[in-house]
Chains A and B, each alone.
Chain A
Amino acid sequence: MKQLDIKLFRDFWHLRGHAVATAVVIACGIAGFVAMSSIDQSLTYSRDVYYTKYRFADVFSSLKRAPRGVESRLSELPGVAEVETRVIMEATLQVEGMTEPVIGRLVSLPEAGRRPKLNNIFLRRGRWPEPGRSEEVILHEAFADAHGFSQGDSIEAVLNGETLEFKVVGVGLSPEFVYQIRPGDTWPDDRRYGVVWMEREAVAGAFRLTDSFNDVLIRLEPSAVVQEVLTAVDNLLEPYGGFGAVTREDQMSHRYLTEELKSLRASARIIPTIFLLVAAFLLNVVLNRLVMTQREQIGTLKALGVSIWAIGGHYFKLTLLITLLGLAAGLLLGGWMGKELNGMYQEFFRFPALMYRWHWRLVISSGVISVLAGLIGTGWGVWRVMRLQPAMALKPAPPPTFKPTWLERAGGYGLLSPMGRMVARSVERRPGRTAFATLGIAMAIGIQVIGSYGYDVMDYLVQVQFGIGQREDMLVTFREPVSTRALDGIRWLEGVQRVEPRRVVPVTLQSGHIRLQTAITGLDPDSRLYRLMDRQGRFRTLPESGLMVSTYLAERLRIRQGDRVWVKPLEGHRRWLQLRVAALLDDMIGLSVYAPIAEMGPMMDEAPVVTSAALKVDPRHVTAVQHALVDQPMVASVGLQRASLAAFERMAAEMQRSFSVILGLFAAAIAVGVVYNSCRIALSERSRELASLRVLGFTQNEISALLFGELALQLFLAIPLGIIIGYLFTLATSEAFASDLYRFPVMLRLRSYGQAVVVVLLAGIASALWVRRGLRRLDLIGVLKTRD
């Protein structure tokens, strides 16, 4: 059917405007799918290879202190394949150029130059420390990069009050720190927190843990029953102050990575679905119009004996051509976007090599879903072409029939001008088309809204959580719980304006068979530096007695306000207690449990003690106060809240902005696609009417009103609908992305919605004006001589 194929390409050329507008929408959907899926695949692949090659452990537990002899008892537990014990402590590092102290997480290396059996180190640069050289260290790459450290540099460190000079001999990575974040922190901060690997004897000696360990890594036998191993490990480590064994799922770095993959997968499903449905609608409209104008050609071809399959195939091929154009552009665009975004992920997640790769199956699935969209859009139209009887097809289509609209019948006749009635009646004659076009434009607004949501929410989180909620300038963490009297020493430091005590106790919570590890934070009910807030930014007060639990945590434990929950402190008496959940807090970060600090003593059977203190400090004295505190042996670390925020904010904002820009462009593509196609079709359907009106003396502007009346109605309806869709999208996103780590509030920020509406309207109006050029080319003379 060669001649028919020539017609195919000519038709395609004739429809090039429609074809491009539709293909762009398909391309956006496919690009989103390819980019998100390929990053997901790349991260997953890089992770799996890394975990296997560098022997990432299956079970993790930290403890107060156990003698080395316990190690062999751990290896004998059923299900345990390999055990590695370590000493991990935090130290203060003096980094040149940093006024505030930097926290180093010191991780011991096995003795005698042995490589770690589990959580092995990938050495990016340099060499391993030589046995016996206690000053030689390997730095985590993220930390080294943040400060520009390389081999030969030295760093001064304070280990338990003792000053040591570290010498950097290598820069490396480990599967346990793909995401380098300090336990208990919400954001990573590579400038103020870094992992340092060093000889075991050096760390252990400084912290009086020689011949002991305080951290365990376990690799499981393939046949191991995970829960049984966890229980056995907990029982064994209990006398040594075990904080409870966890699996990879609760390992910090792994959890962040998993959450990210989860959200990528969600996006990879949602984005293409929206775009391809819009594309299906566009294809449907374009094909129907084409068939309408080629009705007689179809009749002629059939009359000449061309088979219905050849004719159906002809129109399907046209759809396929548009779809394939979009698919090809989408694959290229998606590949490029994926590669760029993958590079940005390297900032967040550190792998030996974050290789960008995509599986050929991604091409197949992209092809399948785009052709599916084409079929959904045009299957019915093609079928109708095939069914059309040649005799019918050769006759002109019956004239369109109209009737007064419900608005006129309901007494609103006088409300509309004749032009208004023309628009209203044609809308009512084909309500589906108006509805879909409206929905398409509304989707574009919704996508724009969701694009800025990520950015807004980050901004909000930072402003609310740290601007209004947590207002301390400094958080001093003590090595061991100290008596409240110890705070007096801090209170008298020059520049310290307020000191608020905190008592944090790591605990295991249990309800039914669900068990979770978290910590109870004892707070002063009148705290001014730490104000409890819910997701919507409302202040909440701590109950007089009992616990205040994150709503998200309560949902995970399936408990409600007023219930009692089993709590086992992981220090002190370590007995199971039953505590009342006095209030729930719908908060944004972490799995938090709060209690009045006065209740912590009785709960722990101890005199009032504190584990950390929040400080408000005169800005002029911040540096002096820091240094004074760092030098005290009881102080484990001094953190500056604001400083740590800025770093993460920059990184997250950059990422969010990229997503926001991409989604913005995608949304504009939908708006352009829908508006261009519907205006072009309105122009083609109404060209006779429009030309007749021009002959009768109507000006170009007057008939533009008729051409764009329907569009104006669609845009008018799409704005409120788009706002609702945007809101629902944010609702769905905030639900879908809620995790142990963050829960984002559903936000309706006026500026973002306004911006979304304006961008979509501009895109729409621009494409409408582009189509309007066609009015100048109307054939006024031809129209007088032809039958419709």
Chain B
Amino acid sequence: MADSREPVLQARDLTRVFLMGEVEVHALRGIDLDIAQGAFIVLLGPSGSGKSTLLNILGGLDIPTSGQVLYRGADLSGAGERVRTLYRREHVGFVFQFYNLIPSLTARENVALVADLVDDPMAPEEALDMVGMASRLDHFPSQLSGGEQQRVAIARAVVKRPDLMLCDEPTGALDCKTGRIVLEALQRVNRELGTTTAVITHNAVIGEMADTVITLGAGRVASIHEPTERMSPSRMNW
């Protein structure tokens, strides 16, 4: 990848084989990838292409069967559970398809919970303000719409000033209009804080807001495409 900026994450010949009963499933068949500091990357691909498996490995949730994952040069592929927990805690912010907020905590508390994990977090209110949720600080998840919940989840990921935001189908459970608001929030975080962001989706339109679009197919990188112009989510339609 031709990028002058230093890569945050590097994947080298990653493979991942799952044993499903007696059948071996090759989810990843040799992936090479560099993710540059501050980049906004969209991983595209149909179901079963291996994009979630890749994201899980990059996020320290899973380890590859072979190959290397390097975070700023440190090898994560052979790291134990404790090291990977520390990695997630200090460097990664996750956004999930179904938000995974704690139902018994308010928006502010959900964010504060994670803020407490690091030394120099943002104020939870500030993080929520960035995603446009300043007016709903004390609402519980059950009192928020899906889009609102997802924005709280983004604030929760952002609050600890992570190096890396990993978003697995962040708009997958949302309608187009709400999805756009969520993507705008992600874009704003990427622009204003310079947080390296990787978004998984099977929605090709979203690729238009990325610096780099990586398309996966059958466990391999099918193509890498760098759009010349980054489109604003507000103009997207799906």
Contacts and interface: CB of A to CB of B under 8 A. Distances in A.
Interface of A: 399-403, 417-419, 421-422, 425-426, 429, 688-689, 692-700, 780-781, 783-788
Contact of A692 (B86, B100, B173): B100
Given A697-B88, A780-B61, A402 B103 contact: yes
A421 B105 contact: yes
Interface string B90-121: 10101011101011110001001110110000
B199 to A, nearest CB: 14
A783 B100 contact: yes
Contacts of A787: 98, 173
Given A696-B114, A788-B98, A781 B61 contact: yes
B102 A689 contact: yes
Contacts of A699: 82, 85, 89
Contacts of A781: 52, 56, 61-62
A489 to B, nearest CB: 87
A624 B92 CA distance: 92
Contacts of A692: 96, 100, 102
6 contacts: A400-B142, A418-B112, A421-B104, A694-B85, A697-B117, A698-B89
Given A418-B109, A780-B61, A696 B104 contact: no
B116 A418 contact: yes
B14 to A, nearest CB: 16
B168 interface: yes
A786 B98 contact: yes
Given A401-B140, A418-B116, A697 B92 contact: yes
A442 B29 CA distance: 58
A419 B104 contact: no
Contacts of B62: 781
B113 A399 contact: no
B140 A418 contact: no
Tier of interface size on chain B: 20 to 34
B103 A695 contact: no
Contact of A696 (B52, B94, B141, B142): B94
Nearest to A419: B113
Given A403-B140, A783-B100, A697 B105 contact: no
Nearest to B168: A784
Contacts of B109: 418, 421
A426 B156 CA distance: 21
A340 B95 CA distance: 63
A788 B96 CA distance: 12
Q: Which of A402, A421, A696, A700 has the most CB of B within 10 A?
A: A696
A786 B173 CA distance: 11
A551 to B, nearest CB: 56
A418 B82 CA distance: 23
B201 to A, nearest CB: 14
Contacts of A421: 104-105, 109
Given A697-B86, A698-B117, A787-B98, 9 more contacts: A402-B103, A421-B105, A696-B156, A697-B90, A700-B85, A784-B52, A784-B56, A785-B52, A785-B168
A183 B117 CA distance: 77
A401 B142 contact: yes
Contacts of B100: 688, 692, 695, 783-784
B85 to A, nearest CB: 5
A400 B52 contact: no
B146 to A, nearest CB: 11
Contacts of B105: 402, 418, 421-422, 425
Given A400-B142, A402-B142, A785-B97, A422 B104 contact: yes
Contacts of B85: 694, 697-700
A426 B102 CA distance: 11
Interface in B155-200: 156, 168, 173
Contacts of A780: 61
A418 to B, nearest CB: 4
A710 to B, nearest CB: 12
B173 to A, nearest CB: 8
B140 A696 contact: no
A400 B168 CA distance: 24
Contacts of A688: 100
A400 B143 CA distance: 11
B18 to A, nearest CB: 11
B52 A402 contact: no
Contacts of A783: 100
B161 to A, nearest CB: 13
A697 B114 CA distance: 8
A608 to B, nearest CB: 83
A788 B82 CA distance: 27
Shortest Cβ-Cβ A-B pairs, 4 listed: A697-B89, A692-B100, A418-B113, A697-B88
